Structure 1
Amino acid sequence: MIEIVGKPILWIVWLLIPGVNIIFAIWLINLLAKSFGKGVGFTLGLLIPPFTFIFYPILGLGDAKYEGPAGS
């Protein structure tokens, strides 16, 4: 996922630090949504646990196209 959003491998270290990992995980999921041309509402769908089972398959199997790292 880190390679999809175009961030360095150092982010794995940030994701292992307690407390900091929550912020970086939310940021990573937001960048993932942006990489596929989706907005903040889609990011919330990816974050809220009951909806993750719906939104990740939509992202992977739906009509979303990869636009490059973080939608650039």
Structure 2
Amino acid sequence: MDLAKFVKERRTAVKLTQPEFALKAGVGLRFLRDLEQGKKTLRMDKVNQVLQMFGHKLGPIPDTSDE
């Protein structure tokens, strides 16, 4: 599952709108919208602020795109 889908599914599961969730996570609404739309360039510290709401953080994963 990609990051955008993960965040959106988790946010909707806890029944929060984007503005409500952005406020609780301490990030801007624009940032959350960009994240949920799969923007490729985002600040990692802010992504971690969002992921912290679900008990997660960014980390390295194997690249399987050549398989």
TM-score tier, shorter chain, comes to 0.3 to 0.5
Please, what TM-score do these two structures have when normalized by structure 2? 0.32
Whose RCO is larger (CA < 8 A, sep 6+)? Answer: 1
More helix by share: 1
Please, what TM-score do these two structures have when normalized by structure 1? 0.31
